[in-house]
């Protein structure tokens, strides 16, 4: 059974969130056309993300060994366990759906905290003396990045303006995810007519992509 990890990052309920409503449209369409899929979904504002305290690492992206782990307090060990749990949960998935708003030309901070948390040595990455490489090329994986924004993003300037989308594409390509799909729902923040038009267009794109994948 394939696993779909659906991650949002907005404290608004789905009915008020453009990114969440478009994300839901994609997930519903995908599940309608792919029956044998297990879905795990959460909003990053609703789950516990451990702060990456130096005590949890023997070096960056490399968690403590058994001896150092046993020397930690019960709370600290629980945080290390949580980091491993989140990282393995991510690796187990086959399809990733990220639905987020654009904030300050980027995505909201909890998503970066989450990525820093899960990208750990010997789970998502391999660190050698001469290079670092991703470990997610062991099977076919697909990323769907859905982003809403108040203003318009001209495609000619996308890499200069859409830092969130370009970062997500680059980091997951590095990790080994071969297939990347992007739905940009922009120009939603001025009039109701513009908002409704953008949302409708985004939902159509999401439904079509859900059928295609």
Q: Write out the two tokens for 67.
A: 């001896």
62 assigned binding-site residue: no
149 assigned binding-site residue: yes
The Cα-based distances of 167 to 12, 87, 98, 147, 158 in angstroms read 24, 19, 13, 13, 12
Residue 204 has a CB neighbour count (10 Å cut-off) of 13
189 assigned binding-site residue: no
Residue 120 has a CB neighbour count (10 Å cut-off) of 23
48 assigned binding-site residue: no
17 assigned binding-site residue: yes
150 assigned binding-site residue: yes
The Cα-based distances of 141 to 15, 27, 88 in angstroms read 29, 16, 15
Which residues are annotated binding-site positions? 17-19, 148-151
Q: Binding-site residues for FMN, please?
A: 17-19, 148-151
């Amino acid at each position: 059974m394939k696993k779909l990890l659906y991650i949002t990052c907005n404290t608004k309920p789905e009915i008020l969130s453009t990114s969440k409503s478009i994300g839901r449209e994609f997930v519903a369409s995908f599940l309608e056309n792919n029956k044998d899929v297990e879905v795990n979904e959460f909003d990053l504002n609703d789950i516990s993300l451990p702060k990456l305290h130096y005590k949890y690492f023997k070096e960056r992206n490399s968690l403590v060994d058994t001896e150092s782990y046993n020397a930690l307090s019960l709370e600290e060990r629980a945080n290390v366990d949580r980091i491993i749990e989140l990282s393995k949960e991510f690796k187990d998935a086959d399809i990733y759906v990220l639905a987020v708003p654009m904030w300050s030309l980027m995505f909201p901070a909890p998503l970066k905290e989450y990525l820093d948390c899960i990208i750990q040595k010997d789970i998502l990455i391999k660190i050698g003396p001469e290079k670092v490489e991703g470990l997610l090329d062991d099977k076919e994986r697909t990323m769907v990045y859905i982003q809403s924004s108040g203003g318009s993003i001209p495609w000619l300037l996308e890499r200069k303006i859409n830092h969130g989308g370009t970062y997500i594409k680059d980091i997951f390509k590095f990790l080994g995810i071969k297939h990347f799909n992007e739905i940009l729902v922009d120009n939603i923040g001025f009039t109701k007519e513009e908002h409704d038009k953008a949302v409708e267009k985004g939902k159509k794109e999401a439904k079509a992509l859900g059928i295609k994948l």
